[in-house]
Chain A
Amino acid sequence: AQTVTQSQPEMSVQEAETVTLSCTYDTSESDYYLFWYKQPPSRQMILVIRQEAYKQQNATENRFSVNFQKAAKSFSLKISDSQLGDAAMYFCAYISSGAQKLVFGQGTRLTINP
């Protein structure tokens, strides 16, 4: 079974600085997709970034970028120029091309210090 591991239960960063959240996953599949979702205190899950495993190029969305290392099964999220609104739980998620269910990590709580 596929698993997703986020080894950092909590992280904190100063406003305007850069922070990297770690995620590793375990799968025997070769075709899959990876996501980072953000869950603020309102509890609504919001997509941050999406990566297709067959693409070697790392996905970026404005201040958010990933470091996708397929051989190492690693998918870290870098947030540049952190803002107070970035404070939230961040979940790494995996989905196989042959399945229809997202497998989530346990989440990392990110605090932004003003």
Chain B
Amino acid sequence: KAGVTQTPRYLIKTRGQQVTLSCSPISGHRSVSWYQQTPGQGLQFLFEYFSETQRNKGNFPGRFSGRQFSNSRSEMNVSTLELGDSALYLCASQGLAGSPGETQYFGPGTRLLVL
């Protein structure tokens, strides 16, 4: 089975721009979670989608949004980029039922640099 894929792998943007990141889960997985990883804050949960519905959201401003499509692929969008949004964005997919105890499998991440 192919793993979780994320595109693009690297991205450079300037302040004020917006960006869209994409995540394709493992085939058959219906839950997709997004995390932000920075040296200062570590790994922080952004949001989680299951069957096209956002089930959980972390403590991030409204500039961070996401969606999930009927094929379980997910996108996250960050509008009005700030320097502090520079980070590694990780996507994780979870098994068939999307329950908390199931292992989350991570993609390789998208490294975003905001200048």
Contacts and interface: CB of A to CB of B under 8 A. Distances in A.
A52 to B, nearest CB: 7
A91 B92 CA distance: 15
A106 B105 CA distance: 19
Contacts of A97: 99-101
A62 B109 CA distance: 27
Contacts of B104: 102
A43 B33 contact: no
A64 interface: no
B56 A42 contact: no
B108 A91 contact: no
Interface residues of A, number: 25
What's the dominant secondary structure at chain B's contact region?
Answer: strand
23 contacts: A33-B100, A33-B101, A35-B103, A44-B107, A44-B108, A50-B103, A95-B101, A97-B99, A97-B100, A100-B33, A100-B48, A100-B50, A100-B56, A100-B98, A101-B48, A101-B58, A102-B43, A102-B45, A102-B92, A102-B104, A104-B42, A104-B43, A107-B42
Contacts of A46: 106
A98 interface: yes
Interface of A: 33, 35, 37, 42-47, 50, 52, 91, 95-107
B90 interface: yes
